[in-house]
Amino acid sequence: MEPRTPLSRERRWRWWEPVFWLLALAAPLVLPGQALIINTMAITALFALSLDLILGYAGIVSLGHAAFFGLGGYAAALFAKHVMPDPLVGLVVGMGAATLLGAVASLTILRGTDLTRLMVTLGVGLVLLELANRFDALTGGADGLQGVVLGPVLGRFEFDLSGRTAAWYSLSLLLLFFLLARRIVQSPFGATLKAIRDNRLRAMAIGIPVTLRLAQVYTLAAALAGAAGALHTQTTGFASLDLFEFHRSADVLLILVIGGVGWLYGGILGAAGLMLLQDRISSVTPQYWMFWIGLFLVLLVLIGRDRLLRPWTWFEGRNA
């Protein structure tokens, strides 16, 4: 029974976690004017959560995670436009397309060094970007895929212009996928991922199927990224080449730098923090807001996240 004790302790909810999710779900009602940005935060948080599964728990660095986001978004948009407008079915279709791509792409990232994986993941994203641009008769090319109309969620909740239905839709799915990811990383499967991340050779020596585990978690992360992309196109009614752009993969890496890797709440808090920071700074200095964001990131890296949030600890341990 002793080996199970740490895992069972990790599964326990802390007192602030239910409060956090209740406040998040109540936000569209309490702040109706901010429903659209809350929806975007929830989608971005889910995207960051998917990357954290491979980066924070398996040690796989990716610069092309937007490939799964974009494919899920286009698949859901095309399905809604040409087949069926039901958002939940479209979500499953988007996740299925991204899962298939993730399973295939996982075969390419299991060999080589971290630099090799960076180039391979970046290449996958660029290939899909060019394919979406090339087959403009299907995807709309540079003009984007327009005219995506969704039916009501569960047949009852219509998407409104204020964005409250979209926000609740995205927040509910974020919570659902968070619970799934939490269950996975706190299971024996998650423990093997951490062992692989810390020392791959030692993990192989004790009998962990390293290749299979990495392929499984990479495919799972692709599915969650596809779900985020599907939510994006469903709640905006538009899909464009921007879904595959490199900056989307870079932004989600920055989010994990801000929120912290290897901690599922890191992607959620990082997404909310970065988007609120961008919104506030750009409203004050519309021309130079990127400078202040860059300065904040430099300070975050040089000083450290914990010390930046607790400035009274900056000079601890420094004796004159």
Using one digit for the tens of pLDDT, what is the confidence trace for 177-190? 999 999 999 888 98
pLDDT at 305 (0 to 100) = 62
**Residue 2 confidence (pLDDT) above 60:** no
**Residue 290 confidence (pLDDT) above 70:** yes
**Residue 1 confidence (pLDDT) above 70:** no
Q: What is the pTM of this model?
A: 0.87
Q: Of all residues in the chain, what percent carry a pLDDT higher than 90?
A: 19
Whether 192 is in a domain gets the answer yes
Whether 224 is in a domain gets the answer yes
Give the separation between CA 69 and CA 205, rounded to whole angstroms. Answer: 35
pLDDT at 12 (0 to 100) = 74
Whether 309 is in a domain gets the answer no
Whether 6 is in a domain gets the answer yes
Whether 260 is in a domain gets the answer no
Q: Is 188 exposed, middle or buried (CB count within 10 Å of its CB: 0-12, 13-18, 19+)?
A: exposed
Whether 278 is in a domain gets the answer no
* 86: containing domain: 2-244
Cα 90 from chain centroid (whole Å): 19
Give the separation between CA 305 and CA 54, rounded to whole angstroms. Answer: 21
Q: Who wins on pLDDT, 217 or 114?
A: 217
Query: Do the Cβ atoms of 62 and 117 come closer than 8 Å?
Result: yes
Q: Who wins on pLDDT, 52 or 155?
A: 52
Predicted confidence band of residue 272 (pLDDT cuts 50, 70, 90): confident
Domain count, the chain: 1
Whether 259 is in a domain gets the answer no
